[in-house]
Amino acid sequence: MAMDRGLLAAPGASLAAEGGNSSSVLTDADVMLRVKAGDESAFSYLVQKYRRAMVHFMYRMAHSPAVAEDLAQEVFLRVYRSRENYEPTAKFTTWLYRIATNLAVNHIRDTRHERQGNMASLDEPDPETGRALDVADIKPTTEEVIIQRERLAAIRGKVEALPERQKLAVLMHKYQQMDYKQIAEVLKLSESATKSLLFRAYESLREQLKEFV
């Protein structure tokens, strides 16, 4: 475990290939195969590349910067521990988000009672930047701030209340910019089923958020 956590703290590597700069053409799957072969600098590279996205994804699920950091770290620990069984049968990010999704779902189920009535404050800072999430750069008026906060609170509350798979699909689609195919692979659904899942989720949100649209 100590070695694993040390790797997570290591600075990102350049992955410069022997005799040239061919690392630029390596896919994430190629890099993960290097991790499988024992290249610790390759693992550090993947941590550096995806850490921020993992923290943001976990924050959307857990609503706590500290928990998001811990869950993101656990994702990469699981990636490292699973390295010997890794096979590039799908995009690396699909495999990564499948690990993250399973971990997030388990966390939500285990802490459901603790989280009731404890939604994150809209002023809670982004765990990476320290800035408030979803706040525009242009300074709004006091009235605009109040309206924006009410709108964000309503959206977050309704997204949180969605059925589990719909919530995961919305978070991956809207906040992680993942396409239908990749979400389908993460959730182990067909692409058409994923489209239907997202359609139902967005229709539900639209109906419940009419006054804020």
Q: Which long-range contacts (CB under 8 A, 24 or more apart) does 145-149 make?
A: 149/122
Q: Under CATH, which architecture does the 137-213 domain have?
A: Orthogonal Bundle (1.10)
Report the largest interatomic distance among the alpha carbons of the chain, rounded to a whole angstrom. Answer: 61
Summarize pLDDT for 100-158 with one digit per residue, the tens. 999 988 888 877 655 444 444 333 444 444 444 443 344 556 655 566 666 666 677 77
pLDDT at 117: 45
Residue bearing tokens 């919530």? 167
Which residues, other chains included, contact 49 with Cβ-Cβ below 8 Å and sequence gap of 6+?
12, 28
Tokens of 49: 């590349």
Write the CB contacts of 36 (distance below 8 Å, at least 6 apart in sequence).
83, 84, 86
The CA-atom distances, in angstroms, between 168 and each of 21, 93, 104, 137, 176 are 38, 15, 9, 28, 11
pLDDT at 15: 61
pLDDT of residue 159: 80
Q: Angle CA(68)–CA(93)–CA(64) in degrees, nearest 5?
A: 10
Region 1-15+24-133: CATH code? 1.10.1740.10
Where in the sequence of the chain do the CATH 1.10.1740.10 domains occur? 1-15+24-133
Predicted local confidence at residue 12, as pLDDT: 47
Q: Cβ-count burial of 167 within 10 angstroms (0-12 exposed, 13-18 middle, 19+ buried)?
A: buried
Q: What integer pLDDT is reported at residue 123 of this predicted model? A: 37
pLDDT by residue for the chain (213 residues), tens digit each? 444 555 565 444 456 444 344 445 789 999 999 999 999 999 999 999 999 999 999 988 888 899 999 999 999 999 999 999 999 988 899 999 999 999 988 888 877 655 444 444 333 444 444 444 443 344 556 655 566 666 666 677 778 788 888 988 988 888 888 889 989 989 889 999 999 999 999 998 888 877 655
Which residues, in sequence order, are bridge partners of residue 208? none
CATH 1.10.10.10 spans which residues of the chain? 137-213
> What is the pLDDT, as a whole number, of residue 11?
47
Torsion of CA 71, 183, 153, 73, to 10 degrees: 10
Identify the burial level of 101 via C-beta atoms within 10 angstroms of its C-beta, where 0-12 means exposed, 13-18 middle and 19 or more buried.
Answer: buried
How much is the pTM?
Answer: 0.66
Residues in the chain: 213
Coil/strand/helix, residue 162: coil
